[in-house]
Each structure stands twice: as structure tokens, then as C-alpha cells.
Amino acid sequence: METMNKTYYVEVPASLNSEQLKMMMELEKDAFPGLGAVDEQTLVPLTRYGKLIQYRQKDDPKPIAICEVMRAYNDAHKAYIFGYYVRSDQQGKGIGKLFFEEIYSILKQDGFEKVCLTVNIENKPAVKLYEKLGFVVKETRFDEFGEGEHRYYMEYLIS
């Protein structure tokens, strides 16, 4: 895909080697400093049994955006986005929107009809992006990830 004079493409690894795992954990810490970054105990099963979607740019050794997806156990047509982020040095370039267009296409091909996620209610830029992308706040989940960790639960219907 040729966009903004840069070549972007999607990669979905089935597993991660130790070097890739280390790089992914560094990206996680950059995206979610403090609370929220996942480690190898989460990344390995997400990659093997969920779907780790990487958005890449030609000639860049690191993904520029990441989406970690799981299938909802009680609703096989619903995908849960466990983690989503654009690398800090790539933010503000419209990559989040471009990447989500790719994600929707992949999830539709995989048979999903609905996508859901949770986002920290204080993360105004992320909430704004998700709303621009068609997500709707369905509820506020107080103390979702512990005391004071409030999240909006948002959904998007894949057309």
C-alpha cells in the first residue's frame, strides 16, 4: 500500500523469536509506560493463539504500529482488541487511521462482525481516535484493571 509517499504493509507473525520478543517488549514499554505494557508471558500466547497484527514501513526494522487481537470466547463473531498503539515517533501522521482500515479488513476476512476494546477514560487522544473510527462508548467500567483504573468499553460494527 502506497500512502503519504511511504510504503506501509501488514505482517501477522505466527510466533516471535527471542530478538522479536525483546523488541516487542520495548515497544510495549514505550506505548504503555508504567502500567499496561505486556511481557513475554502475554505476547507469546497472543501471537500463537490470538493475532498480533504489525503495521510496518519499508526499511524500518521495527513495526510502526501494533494491534493485539483475541476472539471473544462467548461470542465467536466479536474480536477484542487487547492492545493497540502507534509507535511514539510515528504518532500524529495519520497512521492510526490507516492501520485500523487494514485491521477491519483482516477481521472481516476472519469472520468477525464486531470489534470491541477498552480504553482508559483519561486517554482523551485515544478515545477521540476510536470515536473518529466509528467506535461507540457502550459503558464505563470502573476499576476494570484495579482501583482507579477506569475504562470505557467501546464497540464497532464491521460493515
- Structural domains in the chain? 2-157 (3.40.630.30)
Per-residue pLDDT for the chain (159 aa), expressed as one digit of tens each?
444 446 899 999 999 988 998 898 888 888 877 666 677 778 888 888 899 999 999 999 999 999 999 999 899 999 999 989 999 999 999 999 999 999 999 999 999 999 999 999 999 988 998 999 999 999 999 999 889 989 999 999 998
Rounded to whole angstroms, the Cα distance separating 93 from 86 reads 10
Listed residue (115, 140, 144, 148) closest to 130, CA to CA: 115
Residues constituting the chain: 159
Q: What pLDDT was estimated at residue 3? A: 43
Rounded to whole angstroms, the Cα distance separating 110 from 22 reads 28
Q: What pLDDT was estimated at residue 6? A: 63
Report the side by side order of strands in the sheet with 6-11.
2-3, 6-11, 51-57, 65-71, 78-86, 114-120, 151-157, 136-141
pTM: 0.86
Rounded to whole angstroms, the Cα distance separating 64 from 103 reads 14
Q: What pLDDT was estimated at residue 36? A: 65
Q: 22: part of which helix (H) or strand (E)?
A: helix 18-31
| Cβ burial, residue 100 (10 Å; 0-12/13-18/19+) | buried
